[in-house]
Homo-oligomer: A and B are copies of this chain.
Amino acid sequence: MSFRVPLRAKTVVLSGGVGGARFTWGLARFLPPEDLTVIVNVGDDFRHFGLYISPDLDTVCYTLADMEHPERGWGLAEETWHALEMVARLGGPTWFRLGDRDLGLHLERTRRLAQGQPLSRVVQDFCRALGVKPRVLPVTDDPLRTVVLTREHGPLPFQEYFVKHGTQPSVTGFHFQGAAAARPAPGVLDALHQADMVLLAPSNPWVSLNPILAVPGLREALRSATVVGVSPILGGKTVKGPAAKMYREMGIEPSALAVAHHYRDLLSGFVVDNQDAALAPLIEAELGIPVLITDTWMQPKPRREQVARSVWEFAYTLHFHMRKEPHPREGKVP
């Protein structure tokens, strides 16, 4: 499929950090900003040195502002480390890498939150200041914290599992602290209700999108849109991060098929990488949804747009051209 005439569709992305950020950057290359909203995981958020740190939101904002580090998947491209060098000299903790410019953002966010401003408003102001045009929304302004249950250390706050322990501990489950009481941030439900298409970014299903979907009202709000997921697992492996390892530790063979099953209640369609072409018929048969097979590799940078365009056009087709037949998803009226 290929569309080169400008098509319009209200599009919402659910996103974690680096994978979702790069995917959203790709969408932002061709979608008008007013058609694009990204709803971001806050389960990784934590306090460090008293500062409020929001890793996924920052990765999304830095990436959309073209300020992100090209390889690392976190932090800024142009960065210095003088504050953390002083912390090290004084014997303080350096396991979480805080660059000087990054620190400036954490300082100002912490200051505004302490004044009572909601996170969503702070993010909106920061995006404007950094020149980010699409709308970036934290899924909630309320505290929602991913706790990783591990065999070796018991429950670990996400950043301790992820950074301090380098994702080494064996995962036995997840807990989204505060999820039951969390309210969608202002704009989140409206964006979903107005969306034609909701794209599940190639983010970690366990710890990036599950915390988003754990916010009461989120799953229900997806029912009116065409929902297309993109597998973050290619050939049984993840591009970055511990998603495949988590599937194995949870007793599930990591694959695009496993991811499709993960989101099965939500999906109108699914996207797998060329190397997983063989899984497409299985997914289509088991879930009764169409599958797009394409190159989902998002490096080098221009690839992001090509991947995003393929996924978006697939979703567009599903939404506007293929809705004549009853949609297999429960409760969905075409």
By the criterion CB–CB under 8 Å, are B114 and A86 in contact? Answer: no
Asked whether, in the complex, the Cβ of A130 is within 8 Å of the Cβ of B83, the reply is no
**Could you list some 28 contacts between A and B, CB below 8 A?**
A49-B51, A49-B107, A49-B108, A49-B110, A49-B111, A50-B50, A50-B51, A50-B111, A50-B114, A79-B82, A80-B80, A82-B82, A83-B101, A83-B103, A85-B104, A86-B100, A86-B101, A86-B105, A87-B105, A87-B108, A89-B104, A90-B125, A91-B108, A92-B104, A92-B111, A92-B112, A100-B100, A103-B107
Instruction: Select from chain B the residue with minimum beta-carbon distance to A111.
Output: B49
Q: Interface residues of A toward B: which range?
A: 20 to 34
State the A residues within 8 Å of B (CB).
49-51, 79-80, 82-87, 89-93, 99-105, 107-108, 110-112, 114, 125-126, 129-130
**Which single member of B91, B100, B105 contacts A129 (CB below 8 Å)?**
B91
Query: Which B residues touch A79, using CB under 8 A?
Result: 82
Known: A82-B100, A89-B130, A100-B103. 5 other contacts (CB 8 A): A49-B107, A50-B51, A51-B107, A82-B99, A103-B107
Give complex CA distance A311, B59 in Å: 57
Q: Which 3 A-B pairs have the closest CB atoms?
A: A86-B104, A83-B104, A82-B100
Main secondary structure of the interface of A (DSSP, over half): helix
Output the least CB separation between A125 and chain B (Å): 7
CB-based nearest B residue for A76: B86
Residues of B within 8 A of A126 (CB): 90
- A113: shortest Cβ distance to chain B, in Å? 9
- How often does this chain occur in the complex, in copies? 2
Chain B positions within 8 Å of A80 at CB level: 80, 82, 100
Of A50, A84, A91, most buried by chain B (CB within 10 Å of CB) is A50
Contact of A107 among B83, B102, B105, B130 (CB under 8 A): B83
Give the complex CA separation of A85 and B50 in angstroms: 20
Most chain B CB inside 10 Å of its own CB: which residue of A92, A104, A130 = A104
A102 to B90, CA, bound (A): 12
Given known pairs A80-B82, A82-B80, the reply for A87 and B107 (CB within 8 Å) is yes
Chain B hits for A108, CB < 8 A: 49, 86-87, 90-92
* In the bound complex, CA of A130 to CA of B91 (Å): 11
